[in-house]
Amino acid sequence: MTRIQRMLCTLGAALALCLSLGGVAAAQAPAKPQYGGTLEVGTVYVTLSALSWDPQDWNWKLNHDTGMFYEQLFAADLDKSVRKGGKHKFYADAWLPSDAIRGELAERWEWKENPLSVVVHLRKGVMFPEKSGVMKARELTAEDVVFSYDRLDKSPKKIPTYFDHIAKVEARDKYTVVFTFKEYNAEWDYRFGWGYYSAIVPKEMAAVDAKNWKNAVGTGPFQLADFVQANSQTYVKNPGYWDTEKLGGTAYKIPFVDKLVYRTIKDEATQHSALRTGKLDILEAIRWTAVDNLKKSAPQLKWSKWLSMSGTFLAMRVDQKPFGDIRVRRALNMAVNKQEIVSAYYGGNAELFAYPMHPDYLGYYEPLEKMPASVKELFTYDPAKAKKLLAEAGYPGGVGFPSVTLVSAGYDYDEAVVAELRDVLGIDVRAERMPADQYFDRLAADPPAFWSLSWVADYPSPNDFLGVLLGSGQSSNYARWSSAEFDAAIGDALAAPDAASARDAYTRAERVVQREVPVIPASYGTGWALARDGLLGARENGLGILRLAGLAWSDR
């Protein structure tokens, strides 16, 4: 399985819990892992059903729901993990270090200079299982890879410029695919190798409705057996799966469990009750406010703690007055007591500074203490300087500042922030909440002047975290911010021939964002996951659940 496919997979969460809690699982694990059983999981998206089954939809959540049956060309090399003596935690939800990538459906690959191309040699003997009404069982071929790419590239929902570096994709023979490039792109492996939009589907998908879950079929370790909207999605073991996991020097066929069920549970109290009573084996996302109570009421549960990959930000339409003035943006930043948000809203369970790179982007993140003074002051509550800057921008005491509404899908501290801006700066600002689906539709169509959003750092590279969200003309750039200096730095990073050059270019881009402050960063909260104690026992021992292949939970 690929890293992205496992990105949010609870089987990986279970294994991670077993391997990270003081070595408990390793000490208790029997010599031989156990097969069989069902795993019931509340994922990080426990409240949200699958949004699409078709890769052509370019849906952000598709890898979470299809990762058990679709595979990709590349995956994480977990031999480079901390658990196996390496340096990588594979902690960030959707990021792979460049030195920790292995082949999945690709057995090996090589670069050619003239023309610039990468030649991918596929594994032989990888099978698509039979799917009634769709296809007979057959071997994966290069034609499936070409079909999968062409289908994505022709989608009207494709991210602009995403495949602009590729001239053509061809099947040289049954097991060889050639990607010919117009120009080098440092993200070539992610964009159609292990990323969100690189699932390999059978060419038979051309003749069926790929949006219908009943037609879904892939080469992965599980197959989708059932889907009940707002209730569950059930995956059953693929007995012909090609891969193995080496444990104690012995290679074992995977997967180990017979069935995996993702549960959709809207109500938080019901989630916790299901976990306490054994109806759920794993719950991947727990708010810090529930931790103490669950530890007391269900002491048998085993816990895993990490820094969340998402933080809430307040953002401004910088193409509209008054937010086009950097003094206004800096004033608003200094008028928000970010440390108080960490202390009061998160109860201290958060990091003040994870901006614009998450700390788990190794080599790219720099702590606040290393930032220039102009950045540090944005994270220091300074009402006096905020008022001074606002006055310099032409709004003394908030006079003349247009009335604005902070629009969001509903974050608890929005009201507090609005009150603070009103009291400190004297500006007329209100908070408005709307249902999440309506809110995101509005962001996509015409973002409001002032809005609140959870900025998720689960992007697979610094470019996707920076360039896609803040690059000029990008559809996800809801702040409508544009900087030629920033765009040039991102371009240099994508063209960089080595990791060191790319890091330097991304650092330049970060500095522009930090200087121009198109958003008011809040903080990143602490996240929790937990599992029943039985998952650490002999029957289902963590080493016997399923090999983890490069997801966020692997070594925390």
CA distance 183 to 223: 37
pLDDT at 485 (0 to 100)? 95
The mean per-residue pLDDT over the stretch 444-460 comes to: 68
pLDDT at 262 (0 to 100)? 94
The mean per-residue pLDDT over the stretch 450-467 comes to: 63
Q: Identify the burial level of 85 via C-beta atoms within 10 angstroms of its C-beta, where 0-12 means exposed, 13-18 middle and 19 or more buried.
A: exposed
- Strands 74-76 and 38-42 turn out to be unpaired
Peptide bond between residue 396 and the one before it cis (omega within 30 degrees of 0): no
CA distance 148 to 171: 12
- Sorting pLDDT into bands at 50, 70 and 90, what band is 437? confident
**Is the Cα dihedral 72, 109, 86, 242 positive or negative?**
positive
**57-78 confidence digits (pLDDT tens):** 998 889 889 999 999 999 888 7
Whether residue 545 is predicted with pLDDT greater than 80 in this model: the reply is no
The mean per-residue pLDDT over the stretch 329-339 comes to: 91
CA distance 67 to 59: 13
Whether residue 531 is predicted with pLDDT greater than 70 in this model: the reply is no
pLDDT at 18 (0 to 100)? 33
Peptide bond between residue 322 and the one before it cis (omega within 30 degrees of 0): yes
Q: Check: CB of residue 314 under 8 Å from CB of residue 421.
A: no
Q: Check: CB of residue 458 under 8 Å from CB of residue 92.
A: yes
- Sorting pLDDT into bands at 50, 70 and 90, what band is 414? confident
The mean per-residue pLDDT over the stretch 409-422 comes to: 77
CA-based nearest residue to 64, from 90, 103, 94: 94
Q: How does DSSP assign 365-430, residue by residue?
A: ---GGGS-HHHHGGGS--HHHHHHHHHHTT-GGGTTPPPEEEEES--TTHHHHHHHHHHHH---EE
Q: Check: CB of residue 374 under 8 Å from CB of residue 403.
A: no
Residue with tokens 């057996």: 225
CA dihedral 69→280→303→46, nearest 10 degrees, is 60
- Sorting pLDDT into bands at 50, 70 and 90, what band is 459? low
The mean per-residue pLDDT over the stretch 302-327 comes to: 82
Whether residue 210 is predicted with pLDDT greater than 70 in this model: the reply is yes
Q: According to the per-residue pLDDT averaged within each range, which of 145-154, 292-301, 465-474, 507-516 is highest?
A: 145-154
The pair phi, psi for residue 467, each rounded to 5°, is -65, -45
Whether residue 332 is predicted with pLDDT greater than 60 in this model: the reply is yes
The mean per-residue pLDDT over the stretch 479-487 comes to: 91
**342-377 confidence digits (pLDDT tens):** 887 778 877 888 777 777 777 778 888 888 899 899
- Sorting pLDDT into bands at 50, 70 and 90, what band is 441? confident
Whether residue 282 is predicted with pLDDT greater than 80 in this model: the reply is yes
Question: What DSSP state is assigned to residue 264?
Answer: -
Whether residue 292 is predicted with pLDDT greater than 90 in this model: the reply is no
Whether residue 535 is predicted with pLDDT greater than 80 in this model: the reply is no
Q: Identify the burial level of 424 via C-beta atoms within 10 angstroms of its C-beta, where 0-12 means exposed, 13-18 middle and 19 or more buried.
A: buried
Q: What percentage of the chain exceeds 90 in pLDDT?
A: 41
- Sorting pLDDT into bands at 50, 70 and 90, what band is 412? low
Which domains, ranges and CATH numbers included, belong to the chain? Answer: 3-268+532-544 (3.40.190.10), 308-526 (3.10.105.10)
The mean per-residue pLDDT over the stretch 439-456 comes to: 76
Average model confidence (pLDDT) across the chain? 82
The model carries a pTM of 0.77
Q: According to the per-residue pLDDT averaged within each range, which of 4-8, 200-204, 335-339 is highest?
A: 200-204
CA distance 170 to 145: 9
- Sorting pLDDT into bands at 50, 70 and 90, what band is 2? very low
Whether residue 465 is predicted with pLDDT greater than 50 in this model: the reply is yes
Range in 16-20, 245-249, 431-435 the model is least confident about: 16-20
Question: What DSSP state is assigned to residue 34?
Answer: P
Whether residue 215 is predicted with pLDDT greater than 50 in this model: the reply is yes
pLDDT at 413 (0 to 100)? 67
Range in 109-118, 189-198, 207-216 the model is least confident about: 189-198
**23-55 confidence digits (pLDDT tens):** 333 334 445 777 888 889 998 889 999 999 999
Q: How does DSSP assign 517-551, residue by residue?
A: --EEEEEEEEEEEEE-GGGGSTTT-GGGT----S-
The mean per-residue pLDDT over the stretch 494-506 comes to: 83
Q: How does DSSP assign 155-176, residue by residue?
A: -TTPPTTTTTTEEEEEEEETTE
Question: What DSSP state is assigned to residue 194?
Answer: I
Q: Check: CB of residue 178 under 8 Å from CB of residue 169.
A: yes
Q: According to the per-residue pLDDT averaged within each range, which of 4-13, 144-153, 524-533 is highest?
A: 144-153
Q: Identify the burial level of 44 via C-beta atoms within 10 angstroms of its C-beta, where 0-12 means exposed, 13-18 middle and 19 or more buried.
A: buried
CA dihedral 277→18→294→283, nearest 10 degrees, is -60
